[in-house]
Structure 1
Amino acid sequence: MAAQCSGLVRRTLPAIALSLRTSSRRLCTATKQKNNGQNLEEDSSQNEQKIDSTSTEKTLIEEKVKLEEQLKETLEKYKRALADTENLRQRSQKLVEEAKLYGIQGFCKDLLEVADILEKATESVPKDEIKEENPHLKNLYEGLVMTEVQIQKVFKKHGLLKLNPLGDKFDPYEHEALFHTPIEGKEPGTVALVNKVGYKLHGRTLRPALVGVVKEP
């Protein structure tokens, strides 16, 4: 009976040992497979994280570029608006200044007609009749002269200057030629006769002088 048990044990132990070794190998294989699976999952997760990080970084860069372009465009519009505002301010200021200077030009033109009549009246007085024996004519003439002098002072005070270009070079911006004629001893292109004096208001021609100009013989 003991011998039978001993033989059974001897037959059974190798089988158990083999089974244990087989189970151990299977367990190791399963563990390795599990570990490999976990490693694959971790690698896959890391790769997905890397992809997400790259995609996010790319999106942020694109948004940054877009915002920089919008900022640049906004700054350009702001600069243009400032320049337009400054130009408008300067133009408005210039218009105001010109209105102050030339706002009276209509009134001045009307006064020029009065000055012309006064000048004609003064010139029409016969000079040889102005004598002490003729006090009325003398007083009249002196009154006309004083009035003419005074009106020219008022004109000058307000920037209105008389143009009497006799003998000057013809200037189309200040003179209006009524005729051209050859005159001996006179330089061509000069004013030989002033039919009507002109006027300038603050350097701007208000009324050109009406003149006759010397031409080549």
Structure 2
Amino acid sequence: MTNKDKYDNDGLTPEQATETQEPVNKHSHLPLEEQVAALGEELAGAQVEVSQNLDLAQRAQAELANFRKRTDEERISLGKYSNSRLITKLLPVKEDLDLALSHIPESAPNDSWLEGIKLIQRKLNSFLESEGVAEIDGIGAIFNPMEHEAVGTEDSTKHPPGQVIQVVRAGYRLHDRVIQPAQVIVAREPQGEDQSTSSPESKETEDE
């Protein structure tokens, strides 16, 4: 017997070839109506599976988009605030420099050393500004606990309650993030006079 008699063109015996072939319609042994019903059920099941797979794919796509968005935001944030530690350390230097120059009278001669210090001040302020540093609003601003730190209150009839009337230490933000809250004195409504001196009943008691 030749190989051609034992094997087909794919190298399989007739028995093996028969086993590997699936019937086109596995319900072919059923009556036609039952075949249609069975195929309809299979189609419905396949549609449900497709819908579920599509939903999973859409969720995965949405999660991937959110992940990319978060990654981009984190990268941008990292770039914006990468110098925050350095800037925080420079702020006391700026404050000391500003304080020192503020005590120099305007009538003082413009010596070269003084001009040099003012130049350093301008360069430092320019650097901080270029990095996105801005001073937080102080006197006249309404107290904001996100930006201000109240270190005291003061009775005032000239300012509405809650208004900043004095800045003890300037505050700064880096872009939209507060890196140093402003220490401030806040106006409050004047307290009433002592009842013992203002009450008519108290006066009558004193007269007696």
TM-score by length of 2: 0.71
CA distance in 1, matches of 2:103, 2:81: 33
CA distance in 1, matches of 2:51, 2:177: 45
| Cα deviation, residue 53, structure 1 | 1.6
Residue 73 (structure 1) aligns with? 52
Assess if the C-alpha contact under 8 Å between 2:157 and 2:189 holds in 1: no
**Matched residue pairs, number?**
163
Paired residues for 1:115-194 under 5 Å: 115-125=94-104, 127=105, 130-131=108-109, 138-194=111-167
Assess if the C-alpha contact under 8 Å between 1:164 and 1:194 holds in 2: no
Give the unaligned 5+ runs of structure 2: 1-27, 191-208
CA distance in 2, matches of 1:110, 1:87: 35
Q: 1:163 to 1:59 in 2, by over 3 A?
A: same
Alignment RMSD, CA only?
2.1
| Cα deviation, residue 152, structure 1 | 0.8
Pick the structure with more helix per residue: 1
1:43-93 C-alpha deviation (Å, 9 max, x unpaired): xxxxxx996222222211111111010000000000101111001111110
1:82-127 C-alpha deviation (Å, 9 max, x unpaired): 11100111111011111111111111101112112212222344x1
The letter of the residue matching 1:111 is L
CA distance in 2, matches of 1:195, 1:61: 80
Give the unaligned 5+ runs of structure 1: 1-48
Q: 1:60 aligns with which of 22, 32, 39?
A: 39
CA distance in 2, matches of 1:152, 1:181: 32
TM-score by length of 1: 0.68
Corresponding residue SS for 2:135: strand
| Cα deviation, residue 192, structure 1 | 1.0
